[in-house]
Amino acid sequence: MRYTTSTSMVSIDPKHPQPDLLQQAADVIQRDGLVAFPTETVYGLGANALREVAIERIFSAKERPYHDPIIVHIADMDNLHQLAINIPEQAWRLAHAFWPGALTLVLERAPQLPSLLAQGMPTVAVRMPVHPVARELIRYAQVPIAAPSANRFTRPSATSAQHVVEDLFNHVDLILDGGDATIGIESTVIDMTQNPPVILRPGGIPVERIHQVVSEVKWMLHNPKNDDPTPPKSPGMLSKHYSPRAEVLLFEGEASRVIEAMRHKSLELGQDHKSVGVLSTDEEAHFFLETGARVISMGSVNNLEQVAHVLFRAMRVLDNQHVEKILVRGYGKQGLGAAIWDRLVRSADGKIIYVE
């Protein structure tokens, strides 16, 4: 049965969170309740990571299968020893380089932690967020906080308190509204229990930057056209994820041809009386205006930070307009382009339209 409760929501200052509100939220965590809170990547659905019953509520509220493991958030480097053992030297180097920030390290789990955090695996994923609300909440609660993204399972991650309300109203005790998440896409997840380490999910910290600290990392971009058809498996990393209700048609290839193919598809769907949304950019949006589609610009094609920032919100906006199909293209595989591509492939359920 889905965890049900009455939800309260409070506005909190994202830069200087008010102590009384932090204390109120910390009390909920200490009572094994659920608090949704902003981080720099996306909103998290938080619970006491040391309490099995609290973690169970996360799974239940999200309707998330138990085999999908959960990230634990810490506020200070010292907290890491409470969670992980045999931490390799390379993990320390990454932690010192990118924490606090959008990097999650998979490590060997300390034996006293609830195994529910990563069922069937002897590991735990840990991240130290930089967002003041997230960090102060952890400090006030005085426990590490387990938090997946605060969306219903398979839905696009929540990047604002409003998205949390859409997906989890009456299934979370308290929502801290601290405005929009800045990055808008989740953290990079890297498995440090393997040698060389393996990128399980590209995210807010681009792989190129990780390479500057750890010379050898393994990763395969989720791309069904690769010779190797199996992308790295993080248990629970189902292909169908980050999905709007509409069907996503993801186009890939040389930009001008792709745009022409998308325009053509949009017109064709319009003639079939389908309602179509296009996720586009400032430079390209005008190509679709006459097709009758609802067009959202995610910013300049040269500013992938902005594209990442609005991607999930844009998917939700089109969903709320009840479009049946969403047309979108990839923006390369460099920098944040890789994380954007990964989320688009998943939202399209792995089906990609290659334009020759």
**Binding residues for ligand TXA, per CB under 6 A?**
39, 41-42, 44, 68-71, 104, 106, 118, 121, 123-125, 127, 147-149, 186-187, 189, 200-201, 234, 236-237
Spatial CA neighbour of 172 closest among 72, 55, 61: 61
Which of 107, 328 has the CB closer to ligand TXA? 107
Between the alpha carbon of residue 102 and those of residues 73, 158, 164, 323, 337, the distances in Å are 11, 16, 20, 32, 15
Q: Which stretch binds Mg ion (CB under 5 A): 24-32, 50-58, 123-131, 148-156?
A: 148-156
**Complete DSSP assignment for 235-267:** TT--SS-S--SSEEEEEEESHHHHHHHHHHHHH
b/e per residue, 339-355, with b = 16+ CB within 10 A? bbbbbbbbbbeeebbeb
Residue nearest to ligand TXA (CB): 148
Which of 187, 223 has the CB closer to ligand TXA? 187
Gyration radius of the chain over CA positions: 20
Q: Which of 79, 90, 123, 149 is the binder for Mg ion (CB under 5 A)? A: 149
CB of 13 to Mg ion, least distance (A): 26
C-alpha to C-alpha distance for 58 and 118, rounded to whole angstroms: 13
CB of 148 to ligand TXA, least distance (A): 3
CB of 85 to ligand TXA, least distance (A): 14
Question: Given the structure tokens 């619970």, which residue do they identify?
Answer: 47
Which of 123, 280 has the CB closer to ligand TXA? 123
Which of 201, 263 has the CB closer to ligand TXA? 201
Residue 217 near residue 210, CB atoms below 8 Å: yes
Which of 124, 262 has the CB closer to ligand TXA? 124
| Binding-site partner at residue 38 among Mg ion, ligand TXA, none, CB < 5 to 8 Å by type | none
Which of 33, 184 has the CB closer to ligand TXA? 184
| Binding-site partner at residue 125 among ligand TXA, Mg ion, none, CB < 5 to 8 Å by type | ligand TXA
Which of 21, 147 has the CB closer to Mg ion? 147
Structure tokens that stand for 41 in this block = 């990547």
CB of 132 to ligand TXA, least distance (A): 15
Q: Which stretch binds Mg ion (CB under 5 A): 20-28, 102-110, 114-122, 143-151?
A: 143-151
Structure tokens that stand for 303 in this block = 């500013």
C-alpha to C-alpha distance for 124 and 176, rounded to whole angstroms: 26
Burial class (CB in 10 A: 0-12, 13-18, 19+), 165: middle
Question: Given the structure tokens 């634990």, which residue do they identify?
Answer: 72
Residue 294 near residue 321, CB atoms below 8 Å: yes
Structure tokens that stand for 183 in this block = 């990055």
| Binding-site partner at residue 200 among ligand TXA, Mg ion, none, CB < 5 to 8 Å by type | ligand TXA
Going edge to edge, which strands form the sheet with 325-329? Answer: 294-297, 276-280, 325-329, 247-253, 352-355
Structure tokens that stand for 322 in this block = 């009840």
| Binding-site partner at residue 297 among ligand TXA, Mg ion, none, CB < 5 to 8 Å by type | none
Which of 149, 159 has the CB closer to Mg ion? 149
CB of 286 to Mg ion, least distance (A): 34
DSSP state of 50: T
CB of 158 to Mg ion, least distance (A): 9
Residues lying near Mg ion in the complex (CB under 5 A) are found at 149
